[in-house]
Amino acid sequence: MNMLFNQKKALNPYLPSWEYVPDGEPHVFGDRVYVYGSHDIFNGWVFCLGDYVCWSAPLSDLSDWRYEGVIYKRTDDPINEDGKMVLYAPDVCRGPDGRYYLYYFYDKRSCISVAVSDKPEGPFVYYGKVHDDEGGLIGERYGDEPYFDPTVLVEGKYVYLYGGFCGHGDKSRTGCMVTVLDARDMLTAIEEPAFVLPGSCISKGTGYEDHAYFEAPSIRKIGKKYYLIYSSQRMCELCYAVSDSPDEDFEYGGCIVCNNDTGIDSYKPSDMATAYGGNNHGGLVKLGDDWYIFYHRQTNGTWFSRQGCAEKITIDDDGKIAQVEMTSCGLSDSPLEGKGFIPAYIACNLFKTEGMEPLVDADSSTTIPRITQDGRDGDEELGYISNFKDGVTAGFKYLNIKGITKFKVITRGYIHGSFEVSTSIGGPVLGSVTPTNTNFWEAFEAPLNIEDGVHAIYLTFRGGGSPSLLGFVLE
């Protein structure tokens, strides 16, 4: 069935359903926002198998994302001419010379490489390695802790380069470090690495307990304060720390977003996971008058096909950021239109309600419910949810409902049960439809008794079989 999806609004994920760009670092250059990240592939067997690509959107329309193409190949660096290493999370900054610098690293090296371009959309060409004044590679000298997940901030004559990896319980690692580089060449360290965020093994008494540094730093200056975003020891959450200085005295601020929504108690118990949790990485950006946090979610039942999402945040007068819940709206400044076809891949929640037992961890199983697609990597196939089981719920937030009296589900597969609609977890059933077995996408219709207003929509499957869901229609 060819379902036309015409909703011209920003969504989550913000890129097409067949694109997998995690670790997104958003930056505004001119009148566009550019997102730089690593590049997973559909059905990938490890992280980051693709070359770096870039997507951008005009600030005037955050639904209009443009593919800028491959901006840097993993074989472009002399140390990886055979292509056996993969490119992990990068960052981009604009240097004092007006050129754009891409800071990156490979999975089997501990140093930071740099590429350069005259345009924010690239392509980038290899430039060099971050080194000390004697040529030693920062991160690979004797006694260095490995650099990892670079993020950069340019201020006048200096470039502040942050990075580091500190696995939970790893006493050989300290935390997140910063190295000051000379902005004249963007490569030469003029100060030795200094640690600014503690890992879990040294977090006791620091204020970072239970939310110590793991990986994925992202630096922003907001007003006169420096905000260092990072993935904590819990992996699924992005936290932040704040300082008056770029290289010292960071204090823990809190969690901004978690990709299984634990910590949110507005629509469920705080400790209940309503999505697959996994590693997380992203950054802050101001788009127009609003601030957003970019992050990623896990799809396809694995850790290796991640997709970028974003949520609007609020920074209060004291500089505090409250945790925000995951939504389907993403970069949209209002709820989605609750009419017509709603694709299943924009579900922000996917969990099991029976006994409040969430599906917490994504794995490689082919039997768990998951957001996926047909075809191979690169095929422009609309995403869907496969393997609904009894008690599994998909949540869509938020929809502006007006004058709706019926709904359809578009399903395929072996089906011996019904899809129920509600506007809250465990809430009253407002409509129920019982599809039949079908080998191809087919729509099944039922009445829907729903009031006008802004609602979450939860679709829960009850029964046997393992149907897939392409989406639903509100009429």
Catalytic residues: 23, 215
**Distance of alpha carbon 362 from alpha carbon 451, whole angstroms:** 35
The per-residue DSSP string of 330-363 comes to TT-SSPEEESEEEEGGG-SEEEE-GGG----B--
The owner of tokens 């990597």 is 377
- 408's CB contacts (< 8 A; 6+ apart) are 433, 443, 444, 445, 446, 472, 473, 475
Answer whether 239's CB lies under 8 Å from 217's CB.
Answer: no
Radius of gyration of the chain (CA): 23
Alpha carbon distance 76, 137 (integer Å)? 19
Q: Which residue, among 165, 174, 247, has the nearest Cα to 206 in the 3D structure?
A: 174
Cα dihedral across residues 383, 336, 222, 262: positive or negative: negative
Query: Which residues are bridge partners to 286 per DSSP?
Result: 291
Q: Which of 351, 371, 397, 376 is nearest to 307 (CA)?
A: 371
Q: Quote the Cα angle for 207-298-212, to 5°.
A: 10
Q: Which two tokens stand for residue 224?
A: 């006169």
The Cα–Cα gap between 359 and 297 comes to 14
Burial of residue 42 (number of CB atoms within 10 Å: 0-12, 13-18, 19+):
buried
Structure token pair of residue 155: 């201020």
Q: CA triplet 71, 72, 76: central angle to 5 degrees?
A: 155
Cis peptide bond N-terminal to 246, omega within 30:
no
**Distance of CA 212 to CAs 167, 352, 461, Å?**
10, 29, 38
CB atoms within 10 A of CB 338: 21
